[in-house]
Amino acid sequence: MKARWLLCLMAIPLMFASCAASPPPQAAQPKAISTFECIGLYWSPPGGGADKRVLVAYRKQGAREWKEALPMKYNPIKGTDEDLADYRGSIVNLKPGTKYEIKLTLEGTATTTRLSASTWSEHFPVGKTVKVGDRSTALILTESGKPDGYLLIDGRGATIDVDDKADSCIEVRANYIIIRGFTLKNAKKYGIRLYDCHDVVIEDCDISGWGEVTKYGFGVDYQAGVYSTSHALRRVVVQRCRIHDPRSGANNWGQKNPINATWTPLDSPDMYHPSGPQGIAFEESEGNHVIRYNEIFSHPGHYFNDILGYGWNSSYRGFPGADSDIYGNYLANNWDDGIEAEGGDRNVRIWNNYLEEVYGPIANAANSIGPLYIWQNVSGRCYSPPTSIYGQYGPFIKMGAAGDFSWMTGHTYVFNNTVLQPNGEGAGGLGTGSNPDWDGRVIRHCTTRNNILHVRPGHRSISVNSRNSDIDFDYDLCSGSYPKGQEAHGLKGTPTYGPRFGFDRKTMRGNFQLSPKSLGYRAGVRIPNFCDGSEHPDMGAHQSGAPDMQYGVRAGAR
């Protein structure tokens, strides 16, 4: 049975019943879960069903005009309460620290409800500050702050170098903590380890040199710069950090790693699955995390397995956890997935990231609850050695199942992303990879709009697997093939870019605007709340006339 929130209504006195207009029926009370720039919504109105969407309108408190957000689909998930409600969805692109009024209406009916919710403030209140200097032993945090007064652990100018003698540089066993400005080096396993805690902010830190080396020369799977196996972990913010160069690296898809024999048969292709360090790894947490404005990268011999990820693909949680945001990051140098958002993906939002030198930029196999929103991301060069058993270039978005198709029950929205092909070495498309003859992975419950899916000649832009279902692909620029009956307003061809095109790693800025003469220029479609500045927006991640896109520690307003 789905969780529902009942609203107690005052009865209208009988004497007024005949002379007062009947109000629209009110439904089960909705729920809102916020982050800095998004609000996740949950509602189970009576009378809901697959033939009715929930229409969403919002406005800043006190404003006169309502704005339209993307409607919510009816999608209760059998066998779990992790879905929270029959209808789920997000309002995005909001301002931090702002209160919003929200109106929900069951399509085609008079059933409606209203609620208000505030986005998180970017300014956390500090109640106490503890200044920490250089040290060679781990810092163990057990004292908690308070909601109205965080405990600030100020490490600006300080280095914690444990020289492989402690598992972590910092351990957190407390709540309402800000960890700021540390340089963390040479932990045996993890830069920062989080236990059963919540409301933790990790910012402006430099983390490197962590992780064990196995006798086979590779790193240990999932040992990460920021790490947790706590299923109670919630509301963690990792922002403006550089997480880089673990002590060891993962194997690539062309190297058999004997350590994998602990979970897969010796003759399995999974023996070649990359295993090794991660940038950030949270296992099956409660979620409501924000990972933003970070630079996570490495160098040859020290590549990550996944950069962001952990948890079970076949689950109702997975990574990053429900109601979580990943945006504004520069992510590079790994042998598997750049962002492994697999499992529940309930109101998970991934946008405005730049990924390069990865095998596959974004993974979502499977999405069991959803909705998962992926928009305005850009992928550059993607690479795995020629000996890799699944080819040199993975899909831009993995798609597909996690062993069992029954987990493919959540919806994915893919809007205004750009797949680049520098020297013909970019990612594949949606559910497609290096093999041009392969039909691709199964895609279910997916909507696309305004993407540039530029793939290598002869390859597919979107999987044409015959088992695809509940798909709605349109208004995309595809250089390769896509399923029959889709892309009624899509374009076939390759993009051309403007004179300032390119990405600068020194400034972490990029210009990916289309040339006015390019296919896809002003050929997109308006998407409420995601791409609603023009009735005819550009396809791709970078709208013409917009400022350069910026990633990493200097991105965003401070």
As a whole number of angstroms, the distance between CA 249 and CA 307 comes to 12
Hey, is 392 helix, strand or coil? coil
Supply the pLDDT for residue 225.
98
Indicate whether 18 pLDDT > 70.
Answer: no
15-40: string of b/e by CB count within 10 Å (b at 16+)? eeeeeeeeeeeebbebbbbbbbbbbb
Distance in angstroms (rounded) separating the CA atoms of residues 47 and 321: 29
Q: Say if residue 172's pLDDT is above 90.
A: yes
At 557 the pLDDT is: 64
pLDDT (mean) for 413-417: 98
Express each pLDDT in 188-217 by its tens digit.
999 999 999 999 999 999 999 999 999 999
Provide the percentage of residues in the chain whose pLDDT is more than 70: 95
**Alpha carbons 77 and 197: distance in angstroms, whole number:** 28
Token pair for 112: 């409606």
Q: What percent of the chain has pLDDT over 90?
A: 90
pLDDT at 13: 30
Which of 175, 176, 181 minimizes the C-alpha distance to 126?
Answer: 176
Q: How far apart are CA 334 and CA 320, in angstroms?
A: 18
Task: Give the sign of the dihedral formed by CA 215, CA 220, CA 225, CA 229.
Answer: negative
pLDDT value for 556 = 85
Task: Give the mean model confidence (pLDDT) for residues 84-98.
Answer: 98
- Which pLDDT score is estimated for 24? 52
The pLDDT assigned to 3 comes to 38
Task: Return the amino acid letter for 286.
Answer: E
Those residues with Cβ within 8 angstroms of residue 537's Cβ, 6 or more apart along the chain or in another chain: 416, 450, 522, 524, 525, 526, 531, 543
For the chain, first and last CA: distance in Å?
44
67-74 and 150-154 as β-strands: parallel, antiparallel, unpaired? unpaired
Q: What would the CATH number be for the domain defined by 24-118?
A: 2.60.40.10
Confidence band, pLDDT 50/70/90 cuts, at residue 25: low
Task: Report the predicted TM-score, pTM, of the whole model to 2 decimal places.
Answer: 0.95
Cα–Cα nearest to 348, from 334, 359, 364? 364
Residue 418 scores a pLDDT above 70:
yes
Q: For residue 261, what is the DSSP state?
A: G
The pLDDT of residue 434 is 87
Domain ranges of the chain: 24-118
Distances (CA, A) of 133 to 136, 156, 221, 243: 10, 8, 31, 20
List CB contacts of 397: < 8 A, sequence separation 6 or more: 361, 362, 363, 364, 374, 412, 414, 430, 431
- Residue 81, burial from CB neighbour count under 10 angstroms (0-12, 13-18, 19+): exposed
Using CA of residue 270, residue 274, residue 275, residue 280, what is the dihedral sign?
A: negative
Query: Which candidate, 301, 297, 399, places its Cα nearest to that of 356?
Result: 297
* pLDDT tens digits, 339-387: 999 999 999 999 999 999 999 999 999 999 999 999 999 999 999 999 9
